[in-house]
């Protein structure tokens, strides 16, 4: 699948991995992880921490799937309003999903500290803006339900928004439990750490095309007919699950991102908080370590790469125009832009765990605007499942 086009900022900023090992012969391991993006890296992290021998296979160069295209805003609030999610999955599960996302940001922070890696992880507040009068009503309702369940949230009025942030909108929800990161750097740092300290092996250009499962073992076959035998396989293929999973669980879309020139700090907004809005599709905004503005949005409900790429120029203009409605004075100019495939599910929640048609496999499919927080949740849950630990009822199961 053609996952992205254009120049993803993170790839330029950090460069390619120096690791370029291919699989040349049959091997055996405890766990084979398919995918070296942030999800596969986090799964490897939790398993390696528990002395489980892991191998990662990726059909691309290391970590160059969607992880390089991400804007990496880490938020506990998912694409579905909590009150809508309650309608879809019930109050208990909906609140639990929100709380797990909240917790996952702290988990990421702990990993950064534990591995002592510098990956531009930064706690920043988040502003969820009302795009219009309907959005204001939605935020009022959302505020009440989040408050009822003890989730961190403050309601900002039109006056507060204007005086504090110089943004003209009817209302906003604010929380200071969000964060941002350089996901590509993060992913590479985790892989490098465990390559060095846990014997993790990562094979690039190793395309898994077939999987055969027996009672106590599972074997993956590459397109070069090389075999990887394991006790379990974890599928972390990002949006390319089609040849690994016997079910279509997501709808694919296209999204567009641009990055500005480095701005003078005075030209940025208070706290450099993450910004998004109630309109659908929404605009999402953050800054980078070198004070660039990163803005994404204007999603299209299709995946066709040719159609997607043909729209890039127009999308840049649309994004800039909309950005200027938030910050009319901004002298923003474009240094980089790209577009990428994006996936959503029927309820905005990921699919994690076993699938009845695929014995000896676990899936880590964190589809949705919160892909990275879902990756953390998936990685921890799969580690527990592999270790046979008692897990609570899985609210992200396939047959929900």
Ligand X SMILES: Cc1cc2nc3c(=O)[nH]c(=O)nc-3n(C[C@H](O)[C@H](O)[C@H](O)COP(=O)(O)OP(=O)(O)OC[C@H]3O[C@@H](n4cnc5c(N)ncnc54)[C@H](O)[C@@H]3O)c2cc1C
Q: Which tokens hold the place of 355?
A: 């699938």
Binders of ligand X among residues 45 to 74 (CB under 6 A) are 57-60, 65-67, 69-73
Query: Closest distance between ligand X and the C-beta of residue 86, in Å?
Result: 22
H-type alpha helices, the chain? 9-14, 38-49, 82-89, 91-115, 133-148, 158-165, 183-197, 305-310, 312-326, 371-386
DSSP classification of residue 122: E
The answer to whether residues 114 and 186 touch, using CB atoms and an 8 Å cutoff, is no
Based on the shown chain and the rule CB under 6 A, indicate whether residue 348 belongs to the binding site for ligand X. Answer: no
Query: Closest distance between ligand X and the C-beta of residue 154, in Å?
Result: 21
Size of the site for ligand X (CB under 6 A): 38
Q: Which tokens hold the place of 81?
A: 């309003």
H-type alpha helices, 247-370? 305-310, 312-326
CA angle in degrees (0–180, nearest 5) for 267-295-290 = 50
The answer to whether residues 85 and 94 touch, using CB atoms and an 8 Å cutoff, is yes
Based on the shown chain and the rule CB under 6 A, indicate whether residue 297 belongs to the binding site for ligand X. Answer: no
Based on the shown chain and the rule CB under 6 A, indicate whether residue 38 belongs to the binding site for ligand X. Answer: yes
Based on the shown chain and the rule CB under 6 A, indicate whether residue 120 belongs to the binding site for ligand X. Answer: no
Query: Closest distance between ligand X and the C-beta of residue 164, in Å?
Result: 23
Q: What phi and psi values does residue 381 have, to the nearest 5 degrees?
A: -65, -40
Q: Which of 104, 126, 175, 373 binds ligand X (CB under 6 A)?
A: 373
Task: Point out which residues pair with 257 in neighbouring strands.
Answer: 296, 338
Query: Closest distance between ligand X and the C-beta of residue 152, in Å?
Result: 18
Based on the shown chain and the rule CB under 6 A, indicate whether residue 207 belongs to the binding site for ligand X. Answer: yes
Q: Which stretch binds ligand X (CB under 6 A): 14-22, 102-110, 233-241, 318-326?
A: 233-241
Q: Which stretch binds ligand X (CB under 6 A): 11-19, 192-200, 210-218, 236-244?
A: 236-244
SS3 302: coil
Token pair 């994404």 is found at 296
Based on the shown chain and the rule CB under 6 A, indicate whether residue 228 belongs to the binding site for ligand X. Answer: no
Based on the shown chain and the rule CB under 6 A, indicate whether residue 287 belongs to the binding site for ligand X. Answer: no
Q: What residue is closest to ligand X based on CB?
A: 371
Query: Closest distance between ligand X and the C-beta of residue 390, in Å?
Result: 26
Contact residues for ligand X, defined by CB under 6 A: 34-40, 57-60, 65-67, 69-73, 207-208, 236-238, 240, 243-244, 255, 257, 296, 340, 342, 366, 370-373, 375
């Amino acid at each position: 699948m053609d996952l992205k086009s254009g120049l993803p900022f993170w790839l330029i900023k950090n460069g390619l991995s120096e690791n370029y090992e291919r699989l040349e012969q049959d091997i055996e391991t405890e766990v084979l992880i398919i995918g070296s993006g942030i999800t596969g890296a986090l799964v490897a992290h939790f398993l390696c921490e528990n002395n489980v021998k892991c191998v990662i296979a990726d059909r691309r160069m290391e970590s160059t799937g969607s992880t390089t295209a991400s804007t990496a805003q880490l938020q506990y609030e998912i694409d579905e309003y909590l009150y809508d999610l309650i309608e879809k999955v019930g109050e208990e599960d909906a609140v639990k999903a929100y709380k797990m996302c909240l917790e996952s940001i702290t988990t990421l922070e702990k990993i950064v500290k534990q591995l002592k890696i510098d990956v531009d992880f930064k706690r920043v507040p988040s502003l969820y803006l009302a795009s219009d009068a309907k959005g204001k009503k939605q935020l009022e309702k959302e505020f009440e339900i989040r408050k009822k369940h003890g989730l961190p949230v403050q309601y900002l009025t039109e006056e507060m928004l204007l005086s504090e942030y110089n943004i003209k909108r009817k209302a906003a929800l604010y929380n200071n439990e969000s964060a941002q990161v350089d996901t590509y750097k993060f992913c590479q740092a985790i892989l490098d750490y465990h390559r060095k300290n846990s014997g993790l092996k990562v094979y690039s250009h190793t395309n898994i095309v077939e999987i055969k499962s027996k009672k106590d073992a599972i074997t993956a076959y590459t397109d070069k007919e090389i075999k990887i035998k394991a006790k379990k396989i974890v599928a972390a293929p990002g949006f390319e699950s089609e040849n690994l999973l016997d079910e279509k669980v997501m709808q694919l879309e296209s999204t567009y991102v641009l990055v500005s020139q480095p701005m003078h700090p005075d030209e940025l907004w208070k706290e450099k908080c993450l910004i998004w809005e109630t309109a659908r599709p929404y605009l999402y905004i953050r800054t980078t370590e070198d004070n660039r503005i990163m803005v994404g949005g204007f999603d299209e409900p299709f995946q066709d790469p040719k159609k997607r790429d043909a729209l890039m120029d127009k999308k840049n203009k649309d994004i800039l125009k909309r950005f200027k409605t938030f910050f009319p004075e901004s002298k923003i100019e474009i240094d980089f832009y790209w577009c990428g495939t994006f996936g959503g599910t029927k309820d905005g929640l990921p699919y994690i765990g076993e699938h009845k048609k695929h014995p000896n496999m676990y899936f880590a499919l964190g589809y949705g605007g919160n892909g990275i927080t879902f990756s953390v949740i998936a990685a921890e849950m799969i580690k527990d499942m592999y270790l046979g630990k008692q897990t609570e009822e899985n609210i992200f199961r396939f047959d929900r």
